[in-house]
């Protein structure tokens, strides 16, 4: 493979001139510059990012640590970060933690040794990442946490308005006439799962509905969890007439469990998701869901890092992105049969018995 000496020989210039052209470190006459670039092209020369990074004490890499690469929500977030990074000459290096905090710490510690330009983290849980972030800052790299936040996080962050999204979705179910509302939350050690439960409870409380403790089930953010917890909810008496799922994967598991139990959605039970994944349109029935801007979470985080890199020293940014309720076919007013004897409308806002 060609090296810089080879380029200098082909172009008939000094090694220093080649270095100045490639690193843009000094003005080089246009004819010489053109000869160097032609030689680079002809020899297929690719400068070593590693060597360049060591010289400058930083590379053009942005590290990104995500909790679950198999969850269809996260690719859009990564894509957003990658698009902004790539179009600004940076490259993304991706690590998956499997929601495992020790793996997360290992990735954070190791990534730092690659001298990244910055780091984007979707934390695996509520553990404090202040020490790790501090060591990045000392090395001159920014850290942005997105989607969920670690304990005591005071650095840059980008999240969706999880509380408001959950509130809107629950309020919609209540406006349809549901009074027996259940929720299957994500892991409650995650801030987004906690906030979504907070929004659900706020809407239920505002409507003066009673919330049975068993109507709140906690699980992991996946289909298996949604399936198992829905089977529990379906055995309760009175059976809930609507389920607000903490994310779309939980909602998919809920749809499956409802079908297996021989019930019809939405006629006998409504199901609402959160995320609005592409697949929400393709389920049967199609899934109503709270859309959160995954792509924008990624683009915003990457842009913050690049701004910091360009010298933005303003106080920590805490950006909260809006959600939007996407109504499809998985929610409907409760039938008289499932909701009790009197009409759904007359019970709106009343207490559950």
Distance in Å, CB of 5 to ligand RIB, minimum: 50
Distance in Å, CB of 253 to ligand RIB, minimum: 12
Distance in Å, CB of 249 to ligand RIB, minimum: 6
Distance in Å, CB of 276 to ligand RIB, minimum: 10
| Residues in contact with ligand RIB, shown as a per-residue x/- string from 141 to 180 under the rule CB under 6 A | ------xx--------------------------------
Q: Does 227 bind ligand RIB (CB under 6 A)?
A: no
**Toward ligand RIB, which CB reaches closer, 28 or 160?**
160
Footprint of ligand RIB on 71-110 (CB under 6 A): 71, 73
C-beta of residue 210 within 8 angstroms of C-beta of residue 352 = yes
d(CA 222, CA 14): 59
Q: Taking the alpha carbons of 108, 114, 119, 122 in that order, is the dihedral positive or negative?
A: negative
Report the 10 Å Cβ neighbour count for 73. Answer: 21
Residue 33: which residues within 8 A CB-CB, separation 6 or more? 21
**Toward ligand RIB, which CB reaches closer, 107 or 223?**
223
Distances (CA, A) of 298 to 83, 129, 160, 255, 319: 9, 19, 11, 29, 12
Footprint of ligand RIB on 230-249 (CB under 6 A): 247, 249
d(CA 83, CA 62): 12
Distance in Å, CB of 299 to ligand RIB, minimum: 16
**Toward ligand RIB, which CB reaches closer, 153 or 221?**
221
**Toward ligand RIB, which CB reaches closer, 161 or 267?**
161
The single residue among 184, 221, 223, 334 that binds ligand RIB, judged by CB under 6 A, is 221
Q: Does 192 bind ligand RIB (CB under 6 A)?
A: yes
Closest by alpha carbon to 101, among 189, 162, 184? 189
**Toward ligand RIB, which CB reaches closer, 145 or 176?**
145
Distances (CA, A) of 85 to 47, 117, 134, 196, 316: 19, 10, 22, 30, 20
Which residue is it, tokens 């055995």? 235
Footprint of ligand RIB on 253-312 (CB under 6 A): 274-275
Footprint of ligand RIB on 17-76 (CB under 6 A): 71, 73
**Toward ligand RIB, which CB reaches closer, 19 or 300?**
300
Distances (CA, A) of 68 to 94, 104, 252: 11, 11, 17
Interface with ligand RIB (CB under 6 A): 71, 73, 147-148, 192, 221, 247, 249, 274-275
């Amino acid at each position: 493979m060609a090296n810089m000496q080879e380029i200098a020989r082909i172009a008939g210039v000094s090694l220093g001139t080649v270095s100045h052209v490639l690193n843009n470190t000094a003005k080089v006459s246009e004819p010489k510059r053109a000869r160097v670039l032609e030689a680079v092209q002809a020899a297929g020369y690719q400068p070593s990012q590693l060597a360049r990074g060591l010289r400058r004490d930083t590379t053009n890499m942005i590290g990104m640590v995500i909790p679950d690469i198999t969850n269809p929500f996260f690719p859009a977030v990564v894509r957003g970060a990658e698009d902004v990074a790539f179009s600004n000459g940076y490259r993304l290096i991706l690590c998956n933690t499997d929601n495992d905090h020790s793996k997360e710490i290992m990735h954070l510690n190791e990534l730092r040794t690659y001298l990244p330009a910055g780091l984007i983290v979707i934390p695996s849980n509520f553990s404090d990442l202040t020490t790790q972030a501090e060591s990045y800052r000392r090395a001159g790299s920014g850290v942005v946490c997105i989607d969920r936040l670690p304990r005591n996080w005071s650095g840059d962050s980008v999240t969706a308005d999880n509380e408001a999204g959950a509130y809107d979705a629950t309020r919609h179910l209540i406006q349809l006439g549901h009074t027996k509302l259940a929720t299957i939350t994500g892991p409650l050690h995650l801030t987004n799962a906690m906030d979504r439960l907070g929004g659900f409870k706020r809407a239920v409380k505002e409507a003066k509905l009673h919330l049975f403790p068993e109507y709140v089930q906690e699980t992991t953010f996946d289909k298996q969890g949604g399936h198992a917890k829905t089977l529990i909810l379906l055995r309760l008496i009175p059976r809930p007439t609507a389920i607000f799922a903490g994310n779309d994967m939980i909602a998919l598991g809920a749809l499956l469990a409802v079908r297996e139990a021989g019930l019809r959605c939405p006629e006998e039970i409504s199901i609402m998701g959160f995320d609005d994944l592409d697949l929400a349109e393709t389920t049967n029935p199609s899934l109503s869901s709270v859309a959160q801007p995954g792509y924008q979470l990624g683009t915003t985080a990457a842009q913050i890092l690049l701004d910091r890199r360009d010298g933005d020293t303003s106080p920590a940014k805490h950006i909260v992105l809006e959600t939007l309720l996407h109504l499809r076919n998985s929610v409907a007013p409760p039938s008289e049969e499932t909701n009790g004897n009197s009409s759904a409308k007359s019970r709106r806002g009343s207490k559950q018995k």
